[in-house]
Amino acid sequence: MAAENITEKVVEKVELAAEVGVKAANIVANAFEKTIADTDHSSGAEEDTLWNYFTSFGIHIAMVIIVLLLKWQYDRNRYRYPKGPRDWRNIKDAISFHRKKRENLLVLANDYPDICTVMTHSGRLVLLNDVTLINEIFIGRADLVSNKVDGYLENQLRYKDGKHIRTGIVFRHQDHNSRIIHKALVHHIDANLVGKRLDSAVQEQLKNMRVSENFDVRRTTFYFATRLLTSLSCSSITVSNEDKTFELFQQNLYKISKAIHADTFEKSAKTILTQLTGLSETLDINENVLDYIKTWTEHRRGEINRPENAGDEQTVTSTTKIGNDFLDSLLAVIDESSPRFDEDDMAACILDIIMHGSEMLKGALSWLLLYVVKYPEEADTCRREARDKNYYQFNLSSAESLTHTQAFVKEVLRLSPVVPVVIHSTLQDFKWRKFHIQKRTQFGANIVALHHSAAWKEPNTFDVARWLGENASAIPTNSYSPFGFGPRACVAEKYLFNLLTGILGVLLYHNDFEKTGALPEPTEGTFGLANLPPKFSLKATPLSTRS
């Protein structure tokens, strides 16, 4: 505490000195200007004038340099970040951080068990490796550190301030609207989906899932998820490949999805090019997709305003329930929103839900199927469980009874979390512990490190049994967080284990999965925004309905 006070005082003094310096520089510069201006040119020789001119010029330059130096010193002393491999001695580590992220996240947690600062391609990142610090920031200071990072798809270039124009993952958070959207979605899932529409919606899309002789796992699971999320977002949409517009929509989403996860120099170069030119193929696709979603909102407004629904005179009300879907839940909070949601916001939020939900389900299901073929005995135990419990179709609440399958899911998400680092950025300058952090600094919760920390027994071993029976009491629950933290955690968080368990249970009940070629290792794959296995294919052989 004392040290913190001293640091604060030093920083204040330096700030003061810098301010005084700037003022002094201005006064001196003005004085010189005045002196030179006061010189009587008519009375002096010509060389004097030239001399005066150069002196004045030199003094101005010197003043500018002094001011710049003072400003540099001022900024340097103003903010204080945790130590880390960010200076020139560690330049190699800093450069390789992004490209070798999986490895680096573990190394950094080892070298800096609590906290460190790294320079990444997207700016300065304060990496939290310790669960207490993660909670302090992501829960205790969530009011100041909750702005989602949005530099992934070059799309911040086309944001409207305070609005939600973006693709891929979750809303911007600096405004009141994000909070009301979050609440509305959680409420909708609790009140209208769970125990109601959700089971049939998931089951219908499981029936449509095209697992076959040789299927691309990432593509198939992504298409399953987009159909599911679209049907939950706007129930009046024809979610079928017979519908050409929907098919194109899905294909466009897949293109965006691939672009989000590309983690190559080519992608970095493209991002820079977009910043310079404003041109981007992905952004154009994004706009197409948003235009399509806007037609849903228009259609819904039409439905609401049809004569039989014209109980009151307004165009969109806070209470109207037509589709009982995510779209409705967002329309219902329009009146609370500030700034008021417009068509663009609405479309962007819906796209966020569909893209994020699909990406995450694709990631989780791809990892699950990869571990199924890598650990066939474990998978057989899960399959037997599904068959014994007659779990032939999806049901969220009874997925709870598939204890082994649920343990399998939890262990896969421990070793291969789909979100490896949850990153938020600061909304304003703020002081925390002995640090003074600048606005728009990124804070990352190192999930990979938590999931591999010494709190776990043999953290690198795939061990489903650790979640079962008496072993479960030794689980360090604090060191496990596949769905985020605090007020900005996943809106579907409460139900995701059961959702994934149920989906895996049904898939295993009906199919035997085998590899068709070499399989990737869990340590491979993209590790950018999300952690996904590399492209791989599997063979699914349908099993008879009764064992």
Q: Interface with ligand HEM includes 484 (CB under 6 A)?
A: yes
Buried b (16+ CB within 10 A) or exposed e, 178-196: bebbbebbbebbeebbbee
Residue in 217, 422, 503, 506 binding ligand HEM, rule: CB under 6 A: 422
Virtual torsion, Cα 25, 27, 33, 36, nearest 10 deg: -110
d(CA 108, CA 128): 10
- Least Å from the CB of residue 393 to ligand HEM: 19
Of the candidate spans 70-78, 93-101, 489-497, 533-541, the one that interacts with ligand HEM by CB under 6 A turns out to be 489-497
The minimum distance between CB 67 and ligand HEM, in angstroms, equals: 40
Determine if 483 is a binding residue for ligand HEM (CB under 6 A): yes
**496 binding ligand HEM? (CB under 6 A):** yes
Question: How many whole angstroms separate alpha carbon 336 and alpha carbon 279?
Answer: 35
Out of 82, 85, 357, 525, name the contact with ligand HEM by CB under 6 A. 357
**Among 492, 508, 529, 532, which residue sits at the site for ligand HEM (rule: CB under 6 A)?**
492
- Among candidates 543, 363, 358, 452, which has minimal Cα distance to 371? 363
Q: Which is nearer to ligand HEM, 286 or 442 (CB)?
A: 442
Q: Based on CB atoms, which residue is closest to ligand HEM, 211 or 330?
A: 330
CB of 149 to ligand HEM, least distance (A): 8
Residue placing its CB nearer to ligand HEM in the complex, 18 or 368: 368
**How many residues are recorded in the chain?**
547
CA angle 270, 271, 275 (to 5 degrees): 115
Answer for which of 105, 201, 350, 361 binds ligand HEM (CB under 6 A) is 361
Using rule CB under 6 A, residue 356 touches ligand HEM: yes
Q: Which is nearer to ligand HEM, 348 or 364 (CB)?
A: 364
Contacts of 263 (CB under 8 A, 6+ apart): 98, 99, 526, 527, 528
Show the binding pattern over residues 139-178: x = contacts ligand HEM (CB under 6 A), - = does not: ---------x---------------------xx------x
Contact between 237 and 231 under an 8 Å Cβ cutoff? The reply is: yes
Task: State how far the Cα of 420 lies from the Cα of 532, in Å rounded to an integer.
Answer: 10
**Contact between 360 and ligand HEM per CB under 6 A:** yes
Between 352 and 385, name the residue whose CB sits nearer to ligand HEM.
352
Scored b (16 or more CB within 10 A) or e, 217-229 reads bbbbbbbbbbbbb
Stretch that binds ligand HEM, among 201-209, 216-224, 452-460, 483-491 (CB under 6 A): 483-491
Q: How far is the CB of 490 from ligand HEM (least distance, A)?
A: 3
Q: Which stretch binds ligand HEM (CB under 6 A): 16-24, 328-336, 352-360, 461-469?
A: 352-360
Measured between alpha carbons, how far is 260 from 267 in angstroms, rounded to an integer? 9
Tokens of 349: 């939020």
Q: Is 418 in the site for ligand HEM (CB under 6 A)?
A: yes
- Taking CB under 6 A as the criterion, the residue among 182, 218, 270, 414 binding ligand HEM is 182
Closest to ligand HEM by CB, 290 vs 361, is 361
Task: Choose between 70 and 144: whose C-beta lies nearer to ligand HEM.
Answer: 144
Stretch in the footprint of ligand HEM (CB under 6 A) among 27-35, 283-291, 391-399, 417-425: 417-425
Q: How far is the CB of 256 from ligand HEM (least distance, A)?
A: 17
Pairing of strands 147-148, 215-216: unpaired
Q: Which of 291, 229, 231 is nearest to 257 (CA)?
A: 229
Shortest CA distance to 139 belongs to which of 525, 477, 443? Answer: 443
Q: How far is residue 249's CA from residue 233's CA, in Å, rounded to a whole number?
A: 14
From residue 518, how far is each of 463, 535, 536 by CA, in Å? Answer: 23, 11, 8
Does position 185 interact with ligand HEM (CB under 6 A)? The reply is: yes
Q: Does 353 bind ligand HEM (CB under 6 A)?
A: yes
Please report whether residue 482 would count as binding ligand HEM according to CB under 6 A: yes
Question: In angstroms, what is the C-alpha Rg of the chain?
Answer: 28
Counting residues that bind ligand HEM (by CB under 6 A) gives: 24
Report in angstroms how near the CB of residue 17 gets to ligand HEM at its nearest: 39
Instruction: Answer yes or no: are the C-beta atoms of 385 and 409 closer than 8 Å.
Output: no
d(CA 270, CA 150): 16
Which one, 253 or 490, has the nearer CB to ligand HEM? 490
Which DSSP state fits 437?
A: E
The response to whether 490 counts as a known ligand-binding position is yes
DSSP string, 87-101: SGGGHHHHHHHHHTH
Binding mask 292-331 for ligand HEM (x = CB under 6 A): ----------------------------------------
Residue nearer to ligand HEM on the CB measure, 17 or 186 = 186
Pairing of strands 215-216, 537-542: antiparallel
* Max CA separation in the chain (angstroms): 112
Binding site for ligand HEM (CB under 6 A): 148, 170-171, 178, 182, 185, 353, 356-357, 360-361, 364, 418-419, 422, 482-484, 488-492, 496
Known binding residues for heme: 490
* Residues annotated within a binding site: 490
